[in-house]
Amino acid sequence: MEKYVINEKEEMEGVAEQQMRLWGRESFVIDTDKNLQSIDLQDFVIGNLSDEVVKIYQNIEKKLFVDYSYFQIEQDTPVNFKQSMKLARHRWFPYKEGFSPLFVKSFITRFTDNKNIKILDVFSGVGTTVLQAGLMGFGGVGFDVNPLSNFIAQTKSINLSELQQKEFVNLIDKFEKSDLKEIAEKPDNQTIISYFSEINMQWLLKLKHFYLQIEKPYQDLFKLVFLRSIEPLSTHRKDGNGVKRKTNINTIQNFISEKDFKDYIISFLKQLLIDIQNVFNKGNSNFYLQSSLDSKSFKNHTFNAVLTSPPYANCFDYSKVYLSELWLGDFFVDKSSQIEFRAKSVRSHVHATWEERFTDKGSKIVNELIYPHLKVQNLWSNKIPLMLSGYFKDIGQMLENIYPCLENNSPIGLVVGNSVYDGIPVATDLLICDIAEKIGYSVEKIEVYRKLSTSSQQTIKVQNKEYLRESLVVLRKIT
Ligand SMILES: C[S@@+](CC[C@H](N)C(=O)[O-])C[C@H]1O[C@@H](n2cnc3c(N)ncnc32)[C@H](O)[C@@H]1O
């Protein structure tokens, strides 16, 4: 059996940061008639838990269409934000966790009838699904509990009339001529202040003071440029589950003069202007700062397609990764902001203590096999077993909330990454199919996009590495 070795950091980060590898496998067999609900855990005698869990996965897989034909086709890889940085509007804010707009387009083309689409993204992030649908002329709604990504999604979707475009040009001009004498207040967070040189913090606060004096929607456009300048000006960069000091000082953006700083900001502002002038958002795009776990979010909505990606069960905490932007952009104003944000989010990390919720939901395989095993292991955090059990309860609740809002025959696409803890693969894609069928969805297929791999320091055997993958689960509501 081939050994897989994981280092501690990578184990903490689960699968999301792991690199893609060639892994030739063909599409395999399908027995779509059988129902996943027939699986009974009693049939599996516990020996080596990893083997037993894998037997269950294999049994689930036999009853599904697991399609490898999209494997590593760069064009269609769902999570490839590099592509977005070349596309109008999508390029306004780099967001590593974001979808590829081409993948969204391909999903809409392949799984819907491409007419009168109203698409829902229940974990909308920076809004790729809904914005791309809008650019194709379709309506959409996005929910997210992160005020930063909600703001970015809304701002990327706006249109400006010709008059407004002129006003935006005037404001860019005003910014260029401004003496930038006044500065906004520093955030009330010493850690954030320590991530910037005094001079770079001053530049940011001057820009902030400027945009706080102007009206919306122009204020939002300037604020977006402010937010995207934060990481380049910082001494720290995003890295895995947080930030790390930049080792290459050339990656810290410095300015030799005020003009130099203004030119840098104006180049981004002009990028926004060009995109607004050339690429109209033809759809009705709406983003709400609401939780997909709250059934009230869904009231009075109807959709005929869903494309989304929940946070992966890999211990990443978005509020840590985007902490500078959240504080400097006034989305967090005190410690309670972060606590509230974490409490509303899906249980995909261990940086919060959630009240037990949705106890009747979740995955039997996780709750009855994986959870009891992990609970007595020496993991880097003893909250991991509860997090995993909670993760699938939250996903179950979200799927149940969506169901009544969907028209018959709506496709539901969920991009998920599997993970591994203590050598036990957690096949989120298969476990979600199992949960979804119980709610009443029909499982159409799983498309596997890439292999997620791990490497070494602390030696942990990960057998059955084929389950370390990122895939698209396609469900359908058929009544
Ligand atoms: C993988 S990202 C989605 C990225 C998105 N596909 C894009 O292209 O930008 C997952 C998102 O789920 C959000 N999230 C976590 N818990 C949530 C909840 N309970 N309701 C809504 N969104 C939530 C996170 O804030 C994060 O933005």
> What's the whole-number mean pLDDT along residues 117-134?
98
361 contacts 435 by C-beta, under 8 angstroms: yes
pLDDT at 254: 96
Residue tagged 């795009």 (tokens): 285
0.75 exceeded by pTM: yes
pLDDT at 82: 79
pLDDT at 454: 59
pLDDT digits (tens, 9 = 90+) for 130-181: 999 999 999 999 999 999 999 999 999 999 999 999 999 999 999 999 999 9
122 CA: nearest ligand 1 atom: 21
Distance CA 418, CA 3 (A): 18
Least confident window among 77-81, 175-179, 225-229, 269-273: 77-81
The band of 24, judged by pLDDT with boundaries at 50, 70 and 90, is: very low
The band of 47, judged by pLDDT with boundaries at 50, 70 and 90, is: low
**How many Å lie between the centroid of ligand 1 and the Cα of residue 231?**
21
pLDDT at 80: 76
292 CA: nearest ligand 1 atom: 20
- Tell the residue nearest (CA) to atom 21 of ligand 1: 144
pLDDT digits (tens, 9 = 90+) for 341-385: 999 999 999 988 888 999 999 999 999 999 999 999 989 999 999
**How many Å lie between the centroid of ligand 1 and the Cα of residue 429?**
17
The Cα-based distances of 162 to 71, 226, 380, 413 in angstroms read 44, 24, 56, 37
Q: What is the DSSP string of 114-160?
A: SSS-EEEETT-TT-HHHHHHHHTT-EEEEE-S-HHHHHHHHHHT---
Average pLDDT across the chain, whole number: 88
Cα dihedral sign for 316, 317, 318, 323?
negative
409 contacts 306 by C-beta, under 8 angstroms: no
pLDDT at 301: 93
444 contacts 474 by C-beta, under 8 angstroms: yes
**How many Å lie between the centroid of ligand 1 and the Cα of residue 126?**
9
Task: Enumerate the domain spans of the chain.
Answer: 1-79+359-479, 162-278
- Tell the residue nearest (CA) to atom 16 of ligand 1: 345
**How many Å lie between the centroid of ligand 1 and the Cα of residue 180?**
36
Tokens of 376: 């007595």
128 CA: nearest ligand 1 atom: 8
281 contacts 288 by C-beta, under 8 angstroms: no
Does the pLDDT of residue 473 top 50, yes or no? yes
H helical segments located in 403-427: none
Does the pLDDT of residue 107 top 60, yes or no? yes
**How many Å lie between the centroid of ligand 1 and the Cα of residue 99?**
11
pLDDT at 28: 25
- Tell the residue nearest (CA) to atom 13 of ligand 1: 123
81 CA: nearest ligand 1 atom: 8
**Secondary structure class of 443 (helix, strand, coil):** strand
Does the pLDDT of residue 2 top 70, yes or no? no
148 φψ region: left (φ > 0), alpha (ψ -120 to 50), beta (else): alpha
Cβ < 6 A, ligand 1 pocket: 95, 97-99, 122-123, 125-126, 128, 143-146, 149, 291-293, 309, 311, 318, 344-346
Q: At what angle do helices 428-439 and 384-402 cross, to 10 degrees?
A: 40
Q: Which residues contact 309 (CB under 8 A, 6 or more apart)?
A: 78, 79, 97, 99, 123, 125, 414, 415, 416
Least confident window among 191-195, 280-284, 337-341: 337-341
99 CA: nearest ligand 1 atom: 8
**How many Å lie between the centroid of ligand 1 and the Cα of residue 242?**
17
If you average pLDDT over each of 4-8, 75-79, 143-147, which comes out highest? 143-147
The Cα-based distances of 112 to 130, 133, 319, 413 in angstroms read 15, 12, 34, 11
**How many Å lie between the centroid of ligand 1 and the Cα of residue 123?**
4
Does the pLDDT of residue 196 top 80, yes or no? yes
pLDDT at 298: 96
- Tell the residue nearest (CA) to atom 20 of ligand 1: 291
Of all residues in the chain, what percent are helix, strand and coil, respectively (each to 5)? 45, 15, 45
The Cα-based distances of 293 to 123, 321, 366 in angstroms read 10, 22, 20
Burial of 264 (0-12, 13-18, 19+ CB in 10 A): middle
